[in-house]
Amino acid sequence: MSAQDSNLSSTGFDYVVAVTQDSINGTLEEYLYSGLPEVILCYVYNNDFQPIPIDFATFVASAGNTDPFSVPDGTEPSDARVQNLSNASFAFAIKAKLGLPPGIDPASLPPIIALKPGQSNVTYTLMFGEFVATEISYGPHGPMGWFNQSQPSGTSWSFSGAVDLDFQDASFTSLPSDAQERLKGIGDPDMFSVQQLYYDLNSSDLEQGFQFNNIPTNSALNAFMTADFINTYWKALGGAEVLGYAATQVAPTQPTSLAVTDLNFFTPDAVGSDNAPLTLNYLCAVNNDQLPDTTHAGFGWNWIEPGEVSQYDGVAALNRNAFANYLLNTDNNGQSLAAYIQGNCQRPEVTVQCSGQEVTNYYLYYFPGDPTITCPPSGPVILSCNYKSSISDECGGPALGGSWQLSITYDMTVSVQGNTMTIAQHLVAYTYIRYHVTSDGGNVVDKSITDVYTIGVDDTGQIVTSLQSSTPVDNSQTPGVNGFLNWFTNFNQLLDWVTQAVRGCTETSFADVPVSFLQNFVFPGGSSFVFNDAVFSDNQDLVGHITYADPTL
């Protein structure tokens, strides 16, 4: 069971992005441990003896150019450097930089993110390559102790905890709406990037996995570390929402063709193959559809098989119905496929006028028809249109009068298999006309066009569509009577007029479906991922293996 078994229409999710634990951690490590700046947080006491932040360089200048990190642990309170810091109301300072702890084999360290099967929770562990904390302890008459402690080599100082990524539970829905929007990142082109996921993770409480030595547990430093350090540190890196990280393509990407309007996370159980990797699933709704809850996310297939782990970071899958609705309703160059279909579905009106029993005029009018368009729930056809309209009129007697019958039929199917999409159209206009006792008719329009498109990936990792073949077939008939009857009634002249009138009205819109309906499609996540392939699953979902785009700092 693999992505080829994707059957999202059985679950109700419009779009799913599934990424493996290894890929998330590899991309996070590249970011977190290879280029983030060192952060210095400095605090002084105000008149109410409450710690407040201050710019570090500004503080050092106010403390007689004394750098608190240069003052060794245990320095006597009477030391001039401690006195300088005290006179400047120094409270504490922290210098930290994310990274691999020195003196430890990286292979022995826990992953940054550990997925939990059957849950929306993940375990998050954040480690530091550098961490230094300093603090003055005060007594009734001034400084009474100096503290300066660094992360020792061979020791991993970290923050970790269970992070709740269920955006449908009460703890999330009780947040202010603007906070919910920031966490989901709806409308952000990087909503599937490690940047956005990193923000989601860092918006939860993490517990400090270490204790400072020789410092009271009720000190201002310990209180800050417990309550405020994580959020303050993220903001110091560049903002709570934007952390200075972007996953970009080599070439600029277009805006996504589908609007993701709701999002949740879930890690389904691996099934079938031994050692199949767990994947963190972005569960998405598009175009304001209702997002199912996570009980529908036990998909029953693996997005990535064991042999694919080294090749791909994950899979993106689009529900067949969501793709069909995109094809039908998306505006391309001022026209939608639905409008194109409408243009081929004409509702005719015919009138035969008589004076007494003698025919005097034949009239033909057209009005927009009402086609039936469906998205079948299964099978290779993902979109179909069936339309038929028939009309007739007559007047006069059977010998001198006349009659006219006209019917128009239009059918279209969009079917998919493998990496191909086939759009087949068939337009038929049948007419029968009688003038006095002379009559004839036939399919004056009987045309079909079969367009075959291939879906693939270009050299920038974007999904592209191209027209492979277009096959028109014309079986139209030109009715007419024999020369004697025509000489006697001029019936062929009337029939020619009818034939050309019907053809002129019915064939105006009938043509190859413009390739722009397909070429302009952009998968959600195109700014975060490189697509390695694109095919239709056995259940006609559009699926593609993905890798994270090269990150830039």
Q: What is the pLDDT of residues 99-130, one digit of tens each?
A: 888 888 888 888 888 999 999 888 888 889 89
Strand 260-266 with 463-474, pairing: unpaired
Phi and psi at residue 321, to the nearest 5°: -70, -40
SS3 431: strand
Residues 6+ apart with CB under 8 A from 69: 93, 95, 132, 134, 148
Do residues 246 and 196 make contact, with C-beta atoms less than 8 angstroms apart?
Answer: no
SS3 313: coil
Q: Look at residue 326 in the predicted model and tell me its pLDDT.
A: 86
Q: How far apart are CA 515 and CA 519, in angstroms?
A: 6
- In the chain, % helix, strand, coil (3-state, to 5) comes to 25, 40, 40
Nearest-CA neighbor of 73 among 152, 178, 129?
152
Q: pTM of the prediction?
A: 0.81
The Cα angle at residue 52 between residues 157 and 88, in degrees rounded to 5 = 100
Q: Look at residue 494 in the predicted model and tell me its pLDDT.
A: 66
Q: Which H or E run contains 202?
A: helix 194-202
Q: Which H or E run contains 501?
A: helix 491-506
Do residues 38 and 130 make contact, with C-beta atoms less than 8 angstroms apart?
Answer: yes
- Measure the CA dihedral 330/336/337/339, to 10°: 140
For residue 418, the number of C-alpha atoms closer than 13 Å in the C-beta half-sphere is: 5
The whole-angstrom distance between residue 396's C-alpha and the CA centroid of its chain comes to 64
DSSP codes joined into one string, 111-138? PSEEE-TTBSEEEEEEEEEEEEEEEEEE
Average confidence (pLDDT) over 135-143? 87
Average confidence (pLDDT) over 135-162? 89
Average confidence (pLDDT) over 178-192? 71
> In which band, very low, low, confident or very high, does the pLDDT at 437 lie, cut at 50, 70 and 90?
confident
**Residue 16 pLDDT exceeds 90:** yes
Average confidence (pLDDT) over 203-215? 74
CA–CA distances in Å: residue 404 to residues 125, 347, 361, 367, 429: 80, 15, 11, 18, 13
Q: What is the pLDDT of residues 45-96, one digit of tens each?
A: 999 999 999 999 999 999 999 999 999 999 999 999 999 999 999 999 999 9
Residues 6+ apart with CB under 8 A from 200: 163, 165, 183, 265
Do residues 309 and 10 make contact, with C-beta atoms less than 8 angstroms apart?
Answer: no
Average confidence (pLDDT) over 350-379? 89
Nearest-CA neighbor of 128 among 39, 55, 195?
39
Nearest-CA neighbor of 516 among 344, 258, 320, 330?
330
